Structure 1
Amino acid sequence: MSDAWNEYTLADGTEIRPLPKVSLHDHLDGGLRPATVLELGQEIGLELPAQDATELGRWFAEKSNSGSLVEYLKTFDLTTAVMQTREGLVRVARESVQDLGADGVVYGELRWAPEQHLSGGLSLDETVDAVQEGIEQGIADVRGAGGRIRIGQLVTAMRHNDRGLEIAELAVRHRDRGVVGFDIAGAEAGFPASNHRAAFDYLASEFFPATVHAGEADGLESIRSALLDGRALRLGHGVRLAEDITVERQDDENTYVTLGTLSQWVKDREIALETSPTSNLQTGAIAAWGDDILDHPFDLLYQLGFRVTVNTDNRLMSGTTLTRELSILADAFAYDRTDLEIFQLNAAAASFLPLEEREELSEIITAGFEGS
């Protein structure tokens, strides 16, 4: 991986990488190693924009920094192209877990859309099994190297297609074989969660949790639909929820705000916001407030008591890691180790693990932060 992790330290000198972390919003097809895209692409004769891993990684970062989610999503044509076989899926999943483990992640949920990986002849169930095989191999690798990690799959339906119920049923079929939740992703504007109401009704009837991409490329109505139609327990990104917060006035010490009914509901119900700082800049999700990390509403949401979490979204496209995302926020808003621990505890509490296992995860995080 390209990050010089030892450069990411807090003001007190604490290295961020060894701290135990929770990653809730990490796309499998957005976290490939450039070298893997290059190697697998060459094997299938895929036309690539660069023939060097470093240059290819740079290409992904440049193409992803367009300020448009639609343009950002086009880079996935290359990554999904090399994930159409069992071998490709196993390898990508295994390496993803290895990379998360190296970044200090102790629990992660990898989301991906099986319907995008069928051109090589695999069935939906076979794709899920292949990804689970890779995950289990990656977990064994991390543990063999002396680390600890646990990973769950979030099976995702593409919101612009009409396969929501089919994919929801797939997720539930694999609930005891690695799948911990459901998601919808893809172009948000024009494709509300209500389009997949049948899928969400089915998931609710099976008591199966869902997170929904909302409040990234669309505004408050998208979030409202995610909550009402999708019964979302978390919001994928959710940063545009800040549009429902009115800043009345500010002085040298305080900011006085009024919350709308939607934002008040999200706060009171402790519905987690899966923010991804670098990605939110790249896709224009925070364009209403500016184009710099200091303009991100993350700190406002945090100070107001929302259950904010920090994520990478797509490590390849954003050229990032969870360590780097935490460092960016710490530098921008003068966060210390206590703040970073709160973000991890927020994520642990919002994870799709059973209650007792969420509590155990919180204990692992607290012990790790105290011992660092």
Structure 2
Amino acid sequence: MSDRGEEYFLSGTDISISSLPKVSLHDHLDGGLRAGTIVELSDAIGFDLPASTPDDLADWFETSAGSGSLVDYLKTFDVTIAVMQTREGLSRVAREFVQDLAADGVVYGEVRWAPEQHLASGLTLDQTVEAVQAGIEQGIDDARAEGRVIRVGQLITAMRHADRAMEIAELAVRHRDRGAVGFDIAGAELGFPAGNHRAAFDYLAQQYFPVTVHAGEADGLDSIRGALFDGRALRLGHGVRLAEDITIERQDDESTYVTLGGLSQWVKDREIALELSPSSNLQTGAIEKWGDDLSDHPFDLLYQLGFKVTVNTDNRLMSNTTISRELALLSDVFDYDLTDLETFQLNAAAATFLPLEDREELADVISEGFDEA
């Protein structure tokens, strides 16, 4: 799948969402491949695919990922990771990843991926990071040649079910001046709390290296607590199940009372950004407590209550989506206008792992772009 296709518009207007400046905080490298690239790379290494054409393969990913289970959703990554085991494969995927972000109007992105999953062909951890960084820089140059400006940083990710978090944390810090901007843990959430990697998080805190943690997707409030207090997360990867800590009482047709629990109040008061991914949250069953339709997503509840919500894709290939598409879907369902969409982007800009001055400049770029819409 290439993200250079459909243009999306704000509901009821001729305003192109695709042309607006956007920020991407939660976007997995191994979930953002073009289907055609997978076919080509698979042919080169003799890897058998579940479908032989790019269109059929793209359909397979979207269907397989929509099972309602995070565990089943994650199985689709066996295919993408298989073609990302060489320096050439990693660099190509990273380059196209940036090209597709830029084509969708993203001006700043943070791409997360787990180097420990890309060692099967003999690369070292450092070599994988270098290969991805080379691809990112090529993609940035490609975008510049097309008149687009984009900046991209790596979120070096450890797999939460493995025991390499300290090694990966040290890898991230080692590359902090060569593309790495933050650290994450990902993978099966239930049963693998952030506290299992407390030593790595302690090290990162000592190194003043920022952290985001997947939490509140396949597990509930305890996982979020662990992300915040064991992981010292500055952002929550998804965090959608934080809504379980919010009580809504309707006294009559006109009166509704909302009470925040201690955890949700803390997240709101500290302005900890939620990396919400609407389509993905539906596919993985993260919002099954509230329903199985986008209108059931607690995104709007969290937004109306003043939480720092951001809009993300999670995995563009698996969800057949882009940032612009996610924004268009939300605007259709919740009747958001241009001001709302700008708020989501400013929230994301403020939550990036850039230095303060760069975050302020990014916010100015966003505001200027929305003013011109």
- C-alpha contact 1:3 1:320 (8 A) present in aligned 2: no
The Cα shift of 1:235 comes to: 0.2
State which drifts further: 256-265 or 2-11.
2-11
Matched, 1:297 2:301: no
3-state SS of 1:106 partner: strand
Aligned to 1:264: 265
The Cα shift of 1:256 comes to: 2.1
- Inter-partner Cα distance in structure 1 for 2:122 and 2:3: 34
Written as runs of structure 1 = structure 2, the 5 A alignment for 1:138-287 is 138-249=139-250, 255-287=256-288
Written as runs of structure 1 = structure 2, the 5 A alignment for 1:30-179 is 30-179=31-180
The Cα shift of 1:102 comes to: 0.2
The Cα shift of 1:4 comes to: 4.8
Change over 3 Å in CA distance of 1:38–1:254 after alignment to 2: farther
3-state SS of 1:176 partner: coil
The letter of the residue matching 1:122 is L
- Residues 134-162 of structure 1: CA distance to partner in whole angstroms, max 9, x if unpaired? 00000000011000100000000000000
Matched, 1:23 2:24: yes
State which drifts further: 244-253 or 359-368.
244-253
The Cα shift of 1:254 comes to: 6.2
- C-alpha contact 1:212 1:234 (8 A) present in aligned 2: yes
The letter of the residue matching 2:127 is E
Change over 3 Å in CA distance of 1:273–1:2 after alignment to 2: closer
- Inter-partner Cα distance in structure 2 for 1:315 and 1:273: 18
- Inter-partner Cα distance in structure 2 for 1:264 and 1:11: 35
The letter of the residue matching 2:280 is S
List gaps (5 residues or longer) in structure 1.
Answer: none
- C-alpha contact 1:98 1:138 (8 A) present in aligned 2: yes
The Cα shift of 1:252 comes to: 5.7
3-state SS of 1:313 partner: coil
The letter of the residue matching 2:305 is L
Taking structure 1 as the reference length, what is the TM-score of the superposition?
0.98
Taking structure 2 as the reference length, what is the TM-score of the superposition?
0.98
The letter of the residue matching 2:365 is I
The Cα shift of 1:5 comes to: 2.6
- Inter-partner Cα distance in structure 2 for 1:252 and 1:54: 48
Change over 3 Å in CA distance of 1:258–1:128 after alignment to 2: same
- Inter-partner Cα distance in structure 2 for 1:314 and 1:15: 22
- Residues 249-299 of structure 1: CA distance to partner in whole angstroms, max 9, x if unpaired? 266666420000000000000000000000000000000000000000000
List gaps (5 residues or longer) in structure 2.
Answer: none
Matched, 1:314 2:331: no
The letter of the residue matching 1:57 is A
- C-alpha contact 1:11 1:336 (8 A) present in aligned 2: no
State which drifts further: 360-369 or 2-11.
2-11
3-state SS of 2:289 partner: coil
- C-alpha contact 1:10 1:16 (8 A) present in aligned 2: no
The alignment-based identity, stated in percent, is 73
The Cα shift of 1:15 comes to: 1.0
Q: Kindly tell me the number of residue pairs found equivalent between the two proteins.
A: 372
3-state SS of 1:17 partner: helix
RMSD of aligned residue pairs (Cα, Å): 1.1
3-state SS of 1:181 partner: strand
Matched, 1:6 2:7: yes
Change over 3 Å in CA distance of 1:192–1:38 after alignment to 2: same
Change over 3 Å in CA distance of 1:356–1:60 after alignment to 2: same
